[in-house]
A and B are shown apart, each in its own frame.
Chain A
C-alpha cells in the first residue's frame, strides 16, 4: 500500500498565483484532512472531509478551498497565494476517527514569494 501520497513535495509560487496540492490515499479511509505546520505553531487544521461529497472548515480555512469527489482524493486549492501561506502542508486520513488511527502523508513544502 502506498498509504497517503502528496504531490508535489516542494513548490515555489509567486504572490497571487493559484495552485492545487494533491492528496490521495489507497486505504479506503472515509476521513481525510489538511494541516499546515509552521515553526513554533504545531499543526493547525485547515479543512477536513468525513466522506465523498462532504467537507468542512477547520481552524484556519481562509484562502483555501477543498472538494471531495471521490473517497481516494482530497485536493487543497490555494486561490491566490500569499506569503502568509508559506508553510509545510500535511494531508492525513483515518480508518476510524474514533480510534485515532491517522496516517499522514510526507508533506508539501510551499514557499510563496
Chain B
C-alpha cells in the first residue's frame, strides 16, 4: 500500500535559518504529492503541490521538487520566520485505481522558529 515517511520532529530553528523537512514515499503508479501546514488550533491548509515527476511546487517561500528517482518530496525554505511555526504534513494521492480519492499523510513534523 501507499505510505509517506517524513522526518521526525520537533525541529527548532532560529529566525532566518534554512529549513529542510525530508519526505519520502511509497506508492504504486505515479502519485500527486502535497505539503500541508497546520497552524495551532486550525485545520490543515494546502501549502504546495506537484503532480508529476520533476515538478516543483512553491508557495510563500517554500519549495519542494517531485523526485521520482529517489521517491522524495523534501520541503525547503531559505529563511524561516517565527510565523512559520506550525506542523507540516507531507501527503500523496494515487492518480489511478480505487484509491484516487484518498490522501495518505505522513505523521507530521512540528517546526518551531525562535526569534
Contacts and interface: CB of A to CB of B under 8 A. Distances in A.
A99 B55 CA distance: 14
Interface stretch (A39-47, A69-77, A79-87): A39-47
B7 interface: no
Interface stretch (B13-21, B44-52, B58-66, B67-75): B44-52
Contacts of A31: 101
Contacts of A44: 105
A78 interface: no
A106 interface: yes
Given A40-B107, A100-B32, A100-B49, A48 B42 contact: no
Interface residues of B, number: 23
Nearest to B41: A106
B89 interface: yes
A102 B32 CA distance: 13
Contact of B101 (A4, A48, A107): A48
Given A42-B107, A42-B108, A100 B93 contact: yes
28 contacts: A4-B43, A31-B101, A42-B4, A42-B107, A43-B105, A44-B105, A45-B102, A45-B103, A48-B101, A58-B102, A90-B44, A97-B93, A97-B100, A98-B95, A100-B34, A100-B51, A100-B103, A101-B46, A102-B44, A102-B46, A104-B36, A104-B44, A104-B45, A106-B41, A106-B42, A106-B43, A107-B42, A107-B43
Interface of B: 4, 32, 34, 36, 41-46, 49, 51, 89, 93, 95, 100-103, 105-108
Given A48-B101, A102-B44, A107-B43, 12 more contacts: A4-B43, A33-B101, A40-B107, A42-B4, A100-B32, A101-B46, A102-B46, A104-B36, A104-B43, A104-B44, A106-B42, A106-B43
